[in-house]
């Protein structure tokens, strides 16, 4: 299983340079939670889950990227789980840092999410896993997928970003895939 974090492409290089994902309270950036969190920063980093890299059924916007992390990132960390977007992660089910069956927890959450959709054709990320404050990603980075609009060319900033990823993360699978709805 993988944890996935979706963010605008413009934030990806900073995340990679910092080698960490930080809560919006630390960064001031609210992207997918805009409208849910009412502009109020909080102390959590949010993830969803999937069972494969570069799943074409995951629906995200163009100019967004998906950062795939190995589920082992949850080892020895407390985390919260919810089946929907929530502005208050404290009300979610909390798992202690001693939880060992996190892969089965993630699989159940993923299957629950898939079963909410007709024919399971498109998987829109609506479940959440939350971890407090900041999390180092280097050892757990499993893949990076950048979505772009069909018919558009790769702009210079994305070329620079792709060059940076290929140079510094050559062992990490990457994909530059068209956004399709």
Comparing 180 with 15, the larger pLDDT belongs to 15
Q: Which pLDDT band holds residue 55 (cuts at 50, 70, 90)?
A: confident
Comparing 127 with 98, the larger pLDDT belongs to 98
> What is the percentage of the chain residues whose pLDDT exceeds 90?
24
* pTM confidence score: 0.84
Q: What is the domain count for the chain? A: 1
Q: Which pLDDT band holds residue 134 (cuts at 50, 70, 90)?
A: confident
Q: Is the pLDDT of residue 57 over 80?
A: no
pLDDT of 37 reads 47
Q: Which domain covers residue 44, as residue numbers? A: 2-179
Q: Which pLDDT band holds residue 36 (cuts at 50, 70, 90)?
A: very low
Q: Which pLDDT band holds residue 140 (cuts at 50, 70, 90)?
A: very high
Burial of 27 (0-12, 13-18, 19+ CB in 10 A): middle
């Amino acid at each position: 299983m993988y944890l996935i974090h979706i963010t605008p492409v413009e934030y990806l290089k900073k995340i990679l340079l910092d080698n960490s994902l930080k809560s919006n309270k630390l960064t001031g950036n609210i992207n997918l939670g805009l409208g849910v969190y009412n502009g109020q920063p909080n102390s959590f980093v949010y993830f969803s889950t999937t069972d494969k890299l570069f799943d074409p059924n995951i629906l995200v916007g163009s100019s967004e990227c998906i950062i795939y992390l190995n589920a082992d990132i949850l080892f020895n960390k407390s985390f919260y789980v919810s089946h929907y977007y929530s502005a208050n992660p404290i009300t979610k089910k909390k798992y202690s840092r001693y939880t060992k069956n996190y892969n089965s927890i993630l699989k159940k959450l993923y299957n629950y999410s898939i079963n909410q959709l007709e024919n399971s054709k498109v998987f829109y990320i609506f479940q959440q896993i939350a971890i407090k404050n900041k999390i180092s990603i280097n050892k757990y980075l499993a893949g990076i997928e950048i979505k772009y609009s069909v018919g558009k060319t790769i702009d210079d900033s994305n070329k620079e970003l792709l060059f940076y990823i290929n140079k510094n993360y050559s062992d990490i699978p990457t994909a530059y895939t068209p956004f399709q709805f």
